Structure 1
Amino acid sequence: MTETLELIFHDVANKQCKFTINNVLQDVSEAVARDAMQKLLSLDILRPSNNVPTKVGSAQIVSKTTRNIFTDK
């Protein structure tokens, strides 16, 4: 199972900006996630192509399991 951390911000138009971090530790608390997201905003380094994040939205850990049905040899 693979787990990723999704950090969701909002821009001035209240549209979502999502950043994904691979191989995240399972014990990320709300306080740690909020603090990290606020620091990223204060550094003003997040510059996606379509919108600039201006406020913290939410954070979530997404688990993904992949099962191979067959493999080409």
Structure 2
Amino acid sequence: MSSDYALIYLPALAVGRLFDLGYFKIPCFAASCVAVACMFLIAECTQYWQFFLVQGLVAGMYGGPNAP
């Protein structure tokens, strides 16, 4: 069980330093733009399958790179 946590959080040592140096500005900006677009798209949904499409695909695209 502790090896699971080690494998999840071990890359954070390198990625955290790269994030501090500013290497992830473009992906974070793109994910923020997609998040705002997702909020606007949710307001335009009129059918149930559209909610699945927006929340499943679009929210998955911006949530994936930002997951801890």
Which structure features the higher share of strand residues?
1
The TM-score with structure 2 as length reference comes to 0.29
Which structure features the higher share of helix residues?
2
The TM-score with structure 1 as length reference comes to 0.28
Q: Which has the higher contact order (CA 8 A, sep 6+)?
A: 1
